[in-house]
């Protein structure tokens, strides 16, 4: 199964320094994925790898730095480890069985529970002298040895069971389609389009149309009006950047939305983002707006996030706004200085990370909206663009 990283379960390995996290990752994956050493703190930055592991299937494995690392560098490593929690679907807490659970381990377990992350606690180094006193208080401890392989297969089976238990059938649009439906996909090919391919949300929507045995017709804005004279589709799905032109062409009786809005519903909370759209009208001179993209693509001269959106917002509001930008895994912990966050569709982020970002914004009372919803709002068609969810 050829899934993108964002669609694979993210299994992260946490624990104190020298508990054997990296050795266990290597044993689970049957690869030398992580550097192993007797020196404490060998793992510095999180190591992330998309792969297929039987019986787990396609997954992303993440090894992290020790949560009890010391010094200023240690603090930075711990901070990066904490960020991994934002995108973790299943956590594996690796404990040195010669020592037992430490304070930092207990804190991680508490965090797993608060975040409702399924987790497994494994006691590594069972080939050495186990600290029976510290383990006697544990309920049915899971012993494992990354060195000898004891318990590794059992851990794989356990993780596979958790994956199947938490598997959710979610679709971007397939569940709204009937066999024989016609869907027109408006895909501009401009200077910001990737060379030789179409972007992931467009690929995913096209695939789901085919899976539903619907007919998907791809076109650019320039050919769209003529196409619509000969074909009456059930849905028109456009790149949000083309809303301004497309909205004038599509009759009111045909449902119109965008790839970005479909992704907002697929990856996060549509209702939370909907309330954030109205904040655009409330922006004042000097307000700070964070525009955040989940991927790290090379930004073009007419990039939507750093160029087009700021221009459209300032034109719509008539205000002088201060914009800040983040990409990829970068997302501030403290959002208090922002009046509004505008986020991309999140196609390169897994659901856990996208929802974690929305949760952070909500906890700090900072409105958040997605690119497509913001653009639809400024074009006066947000209600229309959301009609597809009433189908």
375 inside domain:
yes
Residue with tokens 């996909």: 185
387 inside domain:
no
Q: At residue 368, what are phi and psi to the nearest 5 degrees?
A: -135, 140
User: Which residue from 14, 264, 260, 213 is spatially nearest to 122, judged by alpha carbons?
Assistant: 14
Q: Is the pLDDT of residue 78 over 90?
A: no
Tell me the three state secondary structure of residue 85: helix
If one counts the domains in the chain, the total is 3
| CATH number of the domain residue 205 falls in | 3.40.50.11420
390 inside domain:
no
Asked if residues 265 and 208 have their Cβ atoms less than 8 Å apart, the reply is no
User: Could you tell me which residue, 303 or 180, shows the higher pLDDT?
Assistant: 180
Q: Are residues 157 and 13 in the same domain?
A: yes
User: Which residue from 245, 207, 250 is spatially nearest to 232, judged by alpha carbons?
Assistant: 250
Q: pLDDT tens digit string along 61-71?
A: 999 988 876 65
Domain range for 43 is: 5-165
Q: pLDDT tens digit string along 119-150?
A: 999 999 988 877 776 666 677 788 999 999 99
Asked if residues 294 and 346 have their Cβ atoms less than 8 Å apart, the reply is yes
**What is the structure's pLDDT at 68?**
78
Q: At residue 376, what are phi and psi to the nearest 5 degrees?
A: -65, -40
Encoded tokens for 129: 């002298």
Give me the sheet containing 142-143, strands edge to edge: 47-53, 57-63, 10-15, 90-96, 119-124, 142-143
Instruction: Give the CB-side neighbour count of residue 308, counting CA atoms within 13 A.
Output: 18
Q: Are residues 230 and 286 in the same domain?
A: no
Boundary (domain end) residue, out of 262, 288, 322: 262
**Strand (E) positions, 264-371?**
288-292, 322-326, 340-343, 368-370
Encoded tokens for 195: 């060379």
Q: Which residues contact 365 (CB under 8 A, 6 or more apart)?
A: none
12 inside domain:
yes
364 inside domain:
yes
Q: Is the pLDDT of residue 174 over 90?
A: yes
Encoded tokens for 52: 């297929």
Q: What is the DSSP string of 328-348?
A: TT---S--TT-SEEEE---TT
- What pLDDT band is residue 1 in, cutting at 50, 70 and 90? very low
Q: Are residues 251 and 349 in the same domain?
A: no
Q: Is the pLDDT of residue 299 over 90?
A: no
| CATH number of the domain residue 307 falls in | 3.40.50.11410
- Per cent of the chain over pLDDT 90 is 67
User: Could you tell me which residue, 267 or 190, shows the higher pLDDT?
Assistant: 267
Degrees, nearest 5: CA angle 94-95-101: 135
Asked if residues 285 and 260 have their Cβ atoms less than 8 Å apart, the reply is no
Rounded to an integer, the average pLDDT of 321-345 is 94
Rounded to an integer, the average pLDDT of 199-212 is 95
201 inside domain:
yes
Burial letters 171-190, b for 16+ CB under 10 A, else e = ebbbebbeeebebbbbbbee
- What pLDDT band is residue 310 in, cutting at 50, 70 and 90? very high
Q: Are residues 89 and 212 in the same domain?
A: no
Please provide the average confidence, as pLDDT, over all residues in the chain: 89
388 inside domain:
no
Q: What is the DSSP string of 130-165?
A: --HHHHTTSSS-EE--TTT-TTHHHHHHHHHHHHHH
192 inside domain:
yes
| CATH number of the domain residue 110 falls in | 3.40.50.300
Q: Are residues 11 and 141 in the same domain?
A: yes
Q: Are residues 151 and 206 in the same domain?
A: no
Boundary (domain end) residue, out of 221, 239, 262: 262
Boundary (domain end) residue, out of 165, 197, 227: 165
């Amino acid at each position: 199964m050829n899934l993108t990283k964002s669609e694979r379960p993210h299994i992260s390995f946490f624990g104190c320094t020298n508990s054997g996290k990296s050795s266990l990752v290597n044993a689970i994956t049957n690869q030398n994925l992580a550097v192993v050493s007797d020196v404490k703190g060998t793992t510095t930055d999180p190591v992330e790898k998309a792969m297929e592991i039987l019986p787990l299937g396609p997954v992303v494995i993440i090894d992290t730095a020790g949560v009890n690392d010391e010094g200023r560098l240690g603090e930075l490593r711990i901070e990066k480890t904490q960020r991994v929690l934002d995108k973790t679907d299943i956590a594996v807490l690796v404990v040195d069985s010669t020592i037992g659970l430490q304070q930092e381990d207990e804190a991680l377990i508490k965090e797993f529970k608060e975040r409702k992350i399924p987790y497994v606690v494994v006691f590594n180094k069972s080939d050495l002298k186990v600290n029976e006193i510290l383990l006697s208080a544990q309920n049915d401890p899971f012993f494992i040895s990354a060195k000898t392989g004891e318990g590794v297969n059992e851990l794989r089976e356990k993780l596979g069971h958790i994956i199947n238990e938490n598997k959710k059938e979610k679709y971007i649009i397939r569940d709204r389609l009937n066999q024989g439906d016609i869907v027109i996909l408006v895909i501009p090919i401009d200077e910001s389009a990737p060379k030789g391919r179409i972007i992931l949300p467009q690929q995913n929507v096209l695939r789901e149309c085919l899976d539903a045995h619907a007919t998907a017709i791809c076109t650019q804005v320039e050919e769209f009006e003529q196409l619509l004279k000969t074909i009456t589709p059930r849905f028109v799905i456009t790149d949000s950047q083309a809303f301004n032109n497309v909205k004038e062409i599509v009759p009111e009786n045909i449902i119109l939305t965008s790839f970005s809005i479909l992704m907002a519903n697929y990856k996060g909370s549509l209702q939370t983002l909907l309330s954030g759209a109205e904040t655009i009208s409330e922006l004042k001179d000097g307000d700070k707006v964070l525009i955040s993209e989940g991927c790290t693509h090379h930004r073009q001269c007419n990039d939507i996030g750093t160029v087009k959106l700021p221009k459209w917002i300032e034109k719509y509001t008539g205000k002088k706004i201060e914009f800040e930008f983040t990409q990829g895994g970068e997302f501030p912990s403290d959002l208090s200085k922002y009046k509004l966050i505008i986020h991309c569709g999140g196609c390169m982020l897994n659901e856990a990370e996208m929802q974690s970002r929305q949760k952070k914004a909500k906890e700090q009372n900072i409105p958040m909206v997605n690119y497509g919803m913001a653009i639809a709002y400024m074009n006066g068609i947000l209600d229309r663009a959301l009609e597809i969810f009433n189908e």
